Amino acid sequence: MDSTPSSEPLFVKVAECLYRNRSSGTYFALVKRKGKQIRKSLKTKDRKLAERRLREFRKDAGRLNASAKERKISFSKLAQRWLKIRSVGLKTSSVDRYKRSLKELNKFFGDLPVSEISTRHCEDWITQRGTGIAASTFNKDALVLRAVLDYAKDDGLILDSPARVVKRRKVVDKQIVIPTREEYERLLAAVDRLDPRARESKNLIQLLALSGMRLGEATRIVWREIDFERDQFAVSGGDVGTKNNETRFVPLFPSLKRFLEESFKEERREGDAEVISIQSTKSALISACNHEGLPHFTHHSLRHFFVSNAIEVGVDFKTIADWVGHKDGGILVAKRYGHLRSDHSLAMAKLL
């Protein structure tokens, strides 16, 4: 039974800014900055250790230089300030990704004053936002949350970021779905029968499959970037740019060259005219796959198709990586597609 009279204060002052909890014996720091009282557990019952941690805490608290009015700024307003600074020099697609994350974060944190956001708020957000979404999506939102609250800390609005409890989730690689050559032909035939925009859709599907470009790269390539004389094409990504913001030069593979020459005989193949007239053929792919009973192939499946074909004919990983715009010297290609080379090797061995 507790013998401490209920009228006595729970916290006892033992030194300047240093208090001890009567019940638990834990030491706490209590300081004032800009009229705001800040209390923090020093997480120890040892007096000497508490005094050392108090000195560190008072030093950190000295960074709180925001006025009472500034400390009332909401998360959404501070986030906009952060985004304006962070967006300088970034690609439009990266800025859009940040905006999507902030849209979701503002549903939970938007109206809260940044100075009042606690670890409990962040834990509640983890519980609510983290349910039923992919780990990669959660990680992107968490990255932005931590960045905004770190910005608040650097700006002297808060002493420490409560988002430290938000941990990155492990991303499990999705199983790669790659069309076989037979499935690829069936896909094209089905699109030809089912899609009202069959010509445009087939052009995009074939360009992706024969070049290895990403969707955004393929839909922005223009005729002047294709050099039929030198047998090469440039992948710049247009106004948006490529994923790594660098233009790469790729050989104009014979199959790709034949496709471009045969499918665009009546087109003006010059200048800044875009090769592809549509931005997506997602609906055509879905309809064709459903009709033919094929796996759910996407635009990116056609990039996988290109890589798998290159591996089957013996192209080394580094060369493939250069063609598709990877900057790691072939490590990712080896990791994702290495089994294809093993499978192909075994198949070739059976011919002996």
- pLDDT single digits (tens) 39-87: 778 889 998 998 888 888 777 666 665 565 677 899 999 999 999 999 9
Q: What is the pLDDT of residue 265?
A: 78
Range of the domain at 131: 70-165
High-pLDDT (> 70) share of the chain, %: 90
Strands 27-33 vs 36-41: parallel, antiparallel or unpaired? antiparallel
d(CA 193, CA 172): 37
Q: At what angle do helices 331-349 and 317-324 cross, to 10 degrees?
A: 130
Q: What is the pLDDT of residue 350?
A: 79
Mean pLDDT for 237-246 is 84
CATH assignment of the domain containing 145: 1.10.150.130
Q: What is the pLDDT of residue 6?
A: 53
Residue 171, domain member (yes or no): no
Same domain, 186 and 325: yes
Q: Is the pLDDT of residue 335 over 80?
A: yes
What predicted TM-score, i.e. pTM, was given to this entire model? Answer: 0.67
pLDDT (tens digit per residue) in 190-206? 999 998 889 999 999 99
Mean pLDDT for 238-250 is 87
Residue 172, domain member (yes or no): no
Q: What is the pLDDT of residue 61?
A: 67
Residue pair 301/177 in contact by the 8 Å Cβ criterion? yes
Mean pLDDT for 151-160 is 83
Beta bridge partners of 30: 39
Average confidence score pLDDT of the chain: 87
Q: Is the pLDDT of residue 164 over 60?
A: yes
Position with higher pLDDT, 76 vs 175 = 76
Residue 19, domain member (yes or no): yes
Mean pLDDT for 271-288 is 93
Same domain, 122 and 146: yes
Among candidate residues 133, 165, 197, the one where a domain is terminated: 165
Same domain, 156 and 97: yes
Rg (CA), the chain: 29
Residue 315, domain member (yes or no): yes
Residue 175, domain member (yes or no): no
Residue 109, domain member (yes or no): yes
d(CA 130, CA 126): 5
Listing DSSP states for 165-210 in one string gives G-PPPPPPPPPP----HHHHHHHHHHHHHH-TTHHHHHHHHHHHHH
d(CA 166, CA 215): 33
Same domain, 205 and 314: yes
Same domain, 285 and 249: yes
Same domain, 270 and 135: no
Q: What is the pLDDT of residue 1?
A: 43
Q: What is the pLDDT of residue 62?
A: 63
CATH assignment of the domain containing 214: 1.10.443.10
pLDDT bin (cut points 50, 70, 90) of residue 171 is: confident
Residue 176, domain member (yes or no): no
Position with higher pLDDT, 17 vs 306 = 306
Among candidate residues 41, 61, 81, the one where a domain is terminated: 61
Residue 304, domain member (yes or no): yes
Q: How many domains does the chain have?
A: 3
Same domain, 126 and 268: no
Same domain, 16 and 128: no
Same domain, 130 and 269: no
pLDDT bin (cut points 50, 70, 90) of residue 35 is: low
Same domain, 34 and 101: no
- Give the amino acid at 63: R
Same domain, 45 and 186: no
Residue pair 101/137 in contact by the 8 Å Cβ criterion? no
Same domain, 191 and 270: yes
pLDDT bin (cut points 50, 70, 90) of residue 300 is: very high
Q: What is the pLDDT of residue 212?
A: 96
Among candidate residues 165, 189, 219, the one where a domain is terminated: 165
Range in 63-77, 165-179, 301-315 the model is least confident about:
63-77
